[in-house]
Amino acid sequence: MSLSSTPIKARQHAPLEKGLNKFLTPFDLFFKSQSSSGFLLLACAIVAMVLANSGLKDTYTAINHLPLRIGLGDSTIEHSLHHWVNDGLMVIFFFILGMEIKYEILAGELRDLRQSVLVIFMAVGGMLIPAAIYFYVAGGVASQGWGIPMATDTAFALGALAILGSRVPRSAAVLLSALAIVDDIGAVLVISIFYTANINFLDFVFAVATIGVMCLFNLMGVRRPIYYLVGGIILWWWVQESGIHPTTAGILAAMTVPARPYTNTQWFSRRMRELLTRFDQLDRPSQSILEEHRQHDVVEEVHRVAVQTTTPLQHWNTALDKPVVFLIVPLFAFLNAGVTLPSNLGAMNAPVMWATSLGLILGKGIGISLFAFLALRLGVARLPEGLQFAQIIGLAFLAGMGFTMSLFISALAFPDNAVLLAQAKLGIIGGSLVAGAVGFSILFQQATRS
């Protein structure tokens, strides 16, 4: 029998491994699905709402206020679980967001200003009109929450779009992703500028100096994560001490992440062929890689070469993506979405609730569609290939699913007013669901007609 006809067994299973793989396959598919993170967010929000409106309300409150302490020796910091998630773990979410923004600017939909005009117009309309509607409806002291309906929850919006599958063109997902990124840029600017009270100048200078050092790391070609991790923690400390919300540190740290590979693709291709040849020369059918340490060394070198050929921006984004979207953000949703529903319908007539929900539903739907129409009418932009304007309207309403970022901004807008915060949360949850349902219906009907 010739070597070429000899069957090659790709995997060597332990006795129980096959059964375990069959058991784990559905979970693997769930975590790989684009819509899964949106479903998980929704599930966490529902669980939080159920707990907050049942006999377990006190338990839910106790979980939120669970004290957690970190420190070394006599130096300790103690905050509630809610605070650690909102001001600590969410920094990692904003770090991921910052890396996505940097990628889109350098190599994505925002790299060419002429091609991104439509997205920018849509995003501006999706921020100005919702803010204006909120400001008009809420009025008074509640008007400080005008930034709440400006943002888009990428996981929810793309999750709803993913359900439609091939019924919508791929350009729809690309456009919605780019729109959400620009929305997030606007939301971050709003948080940094308008929801910052007093700034401690000296601590602010230390924060700027830390960013400068991290930028120097980038320019010097430093790519080891530990340097940026330590720099990011120091930056987080000085940013929060300066009075700016600490999650801003995540965005700023992401801007310093190297976006250049250590080697080029030609070197990678040549080096990989050399390593593959070496691997084949060392291969012995009678020995496993555990016994042939030289073959193991070749595999280790393959990994090192692969890491050097990609960029830290891509590599770190991939490494952090799953923990953020399947752990940190759902935990944030669980701790922040629980709000007690009013016992009578009269209590539902709350200006903040209506301002938030109308901002998300009408503000996003009308604002994005109107500004997209203006961009097309003025001739400064054109529709992406395969998209019709009716689908733009559907995407506009999907962008009204503001959940995660809207909840985050609401906590900043009403830090000391539990009543207004609860009203805002009701508006966010209700408005996001209605906007998502309207957008999904429009896109589904359009797909059916096509």
Residue 377, pLDDT > 90, answer yes
Output the six-digit token pair for 429.
């949850």
Output the six-digit token pair for 140.
């008074």
Output the six-digit token pair for 98.
């910052």
Query: At 439, phi and psi to the nearest 5?
Result: -60, -45
CA–CA–CA angle 445, 446, 450 (5° rounding): 115
State the average pLDDT for the chain.
Answer: 86
What CATH number has the domain spanning 37-65+79-87+110-196+321-449? 1.20.1530.10
Q: Assess contact for 395 and 368: CB atoms under 8 A.
A: yes
Q: Is 387 left (phi over 0), alpha (psi -120 to 50) or beta?
A: beta
Instruction: Quote the pTM value.
Output: 0.81
Spell out the residues 6+ positions from residue 49 whose beta carbon is closer than 8 angstroms to its own. Answer: 337, 338, 339, 341, 429
DSSP secondary structure, 193-215, as one string: HHS-----HHHHHHHHHHHHHHH
| Domain boundaries defined on the chain | 37-65+79-87+110-196+321-449
- CA–CA separation, 214 vs 17, rounded Å? 44
Q: Give the pLDDT band (50/70/90) at residue 284.
A: confident
Q: Enter the DSSP assignment of 342.
A: P
- CA–CA separation, 233 vs 39, rounded Å? 31
Provide the pLDDT for residue 434. 95
Q: Give the pLDDT band (50/70/90) at residue 4.
A: very low
Provide the pLDDT for residue 32. 57
Provide the pLDDT for residue 368. 97
DSSP secondary structure, 48-88, as one string: HHHHHTSTTHHHHHHHHT-EEEEEETTEEEEEEHHHHIIII
